[in-house]
A and B are shown apart, each in its own frame.
Chain A
Amino acid sequence: MTNLEKYRNAFVEGLEMSPEEVNDSLEYQGVPQWDSVGHMALIASLEDAFGIMMDTDDIIDFSSYKKGIEILKKYDITVE
């Protein structure tokens, strides 16, 4: 699985969305599933998928699909 597939899949699993609903304009609180409860599950899915442990500052800065890709670069993960 490519990093992009893993990344998208983390949204599908963490936010319980269908694959078609995952797109690069997703934002925190932009869809009902991505509230604070969904956010915790999303972060857990991402940490599992990439085998990382995110810093607090990155967890609270993870405000959109695009922002997340920026943040993962800090963990040497390129999503493209």
Chain B
Amino acid sequence: MLSADMEPSLLISLLELYKPSFIWMPSDKKIESYGGESIFDEWGYSLVKTDYDSEYLLYEDLCMLLTTSGSTGSPKFVRQSYKNVEANARSIAGYLKLGPDERPVTTLPMNYTYGLSIINSHLMVGATILVTDKGLMQKEFWQFIKTSEATSFGGVPYTYEMLDKLRFYRMDLPALRYMTQAGGKLSADLHRKFAEYADSHNKKFIVMYGQCEATARMGYLPAEYASSKIGSMGIAIPGGKLSLIDTEGKTISTPHSAGELIYEGDNVTLGYALTGDDLVLGDERHGVLHTGDIAEFDDEGFYYIVGRKKRFLKIFGNRVNLDETERMIKSRFPGNEIACAGVDDHMFIFSVNETINEEIRSFISLKTGLNQSAFKVVTVESIPKNDAGKTLYKELEKYYDV
């Protein structure tokens, strides 16, 4: 998608750089900007086929590609099949008991796996979807929710922090039936507050668990357990199976023992795509996903996430890979020692050169598209490393002030 007001010379150089096979443009601009062949014209726009020959073969069941992270510029996509999307939407509609009278309001972007799963699961049952580009912090949003009688919404942990700040509990929303939460682990305090609100207002609060690699959803905490299982992500969704393995790959069968969470089901995606040539690849996971999350289960089989195998944070619901941000900062500021670490919603960037701290912060906020308040740059004497030169992130934890 390119701006119609772009200077012709810039447009041409962008086309030369990205070599798109097709491009959408306003019909009245197409001839003067680029002499390609128009193959479809509607609503004043034309789909123009360029001369660049970059057609890729597609795997027959490939439905769509979704990014795993925010917008760090990483070209890593999850390949989701038609079977994946349908299986997950059906399962979600099943456990949420969705019917045609539901009216969810869009609180999450539709290019975000969780936001999309809300749309797909409701379309499947013929429900209404209330679409708005207004956000939680805008009056128009709340007017819209009330006048159009929204029955549900979804939110990431940060959404619930904002709702808490807005003293959501006092709002009068008679049409609202349920609220879902995913995109990271909600604090125990907020989990309790919203579970209590739901109990006392005849509504449902459903904590859920998922990943783009499993299309969207893998687990959910049934509403009737919202108050009694604070901090739990629940059980497997219908049609799925959760289990834990230890470091040797053996299945864990005793409660309260931590291991990597494994999910099996028809919504486990095909694999990743890093280049156009990967689009022809078939199913590489065969229905089994190693989530990278460390979890344990209680005596009744309810799962709790307790840690992560990989180095990434969830910031405002977006997965941000710490090794990737570290590389990005190092290549932008060559010759500077950098380490990225932190906890969800708070990334700490360790630098040994105080003079570039502000620049680092603006740079990473711009690159990730996330508000700069999530990033803190801390100056240290040196980045702690072991004899092999690996950064000792544990030793940096003492600087976390959240």
Contact = CB atoms under 8 A, between A and B. Distances in A.
Interface residues of A, number: 19
Interface stretch (B89-97, B158-166, B263-271, B303-311): B158-166
Contacts of A36: 135-137, 162
Interface string B203-228: 00000000000000000000000000
Interface in A6-65: 16, 28, 32-33, 35-41, 43-44, 56-57, 59-61, 63
The range of chain B's interface size is: 20 to 34
Contacts of A28: 137-138
B139 A57 contact: yes
Nearest to A37: B371
Where chain B touches its partner, the secondary structure class is helix
B167 interface: yes
Interface string B152-187: 000000100110011110110000000000000000
Given A36-B135, A37-B158, A40-B137, A60 B166 contact: yes
Nearest to B370: A37
B166 A56 contact: yes
A19 B171 CA distance: 36
A37 B165 contact: no
A39 B137 contact: yes
Contacts of B373: 16, 37-38, 41
B141 interface: yes
B374 interface: yes
Given A35-B371, A40-B162, 9 more contacts: A33-B371, A37-B371, A38-B371, A40-B161, A40-B165, A56-B167, A56-B168, A60-B136, A60-B137
What 7 A-B pairs have minimum CB-CB distances, sorted nearest first? A37-B371, A39-B137, A60-B139, A36-B137, A61-B139, A56-B166, A36-B135
24 contacts: A28-B137, A28-B138, A33-B372, A35-B371, A36-B135, A36-B136, A36-B137, A36-B162, A37-B158, A37-B316, A37-B370, A37-B371, A37-B374, A38-B373, A39-B137, A40-B162, A40-B165, A56-B168, A56-B170, A60-B137, A60-B139, A60-B141, A60-B142, A63-B138
Interface of B: 135-139, 141-142, 158, 161-162, 165-168, 170-171, 316, 365-366, 370-374
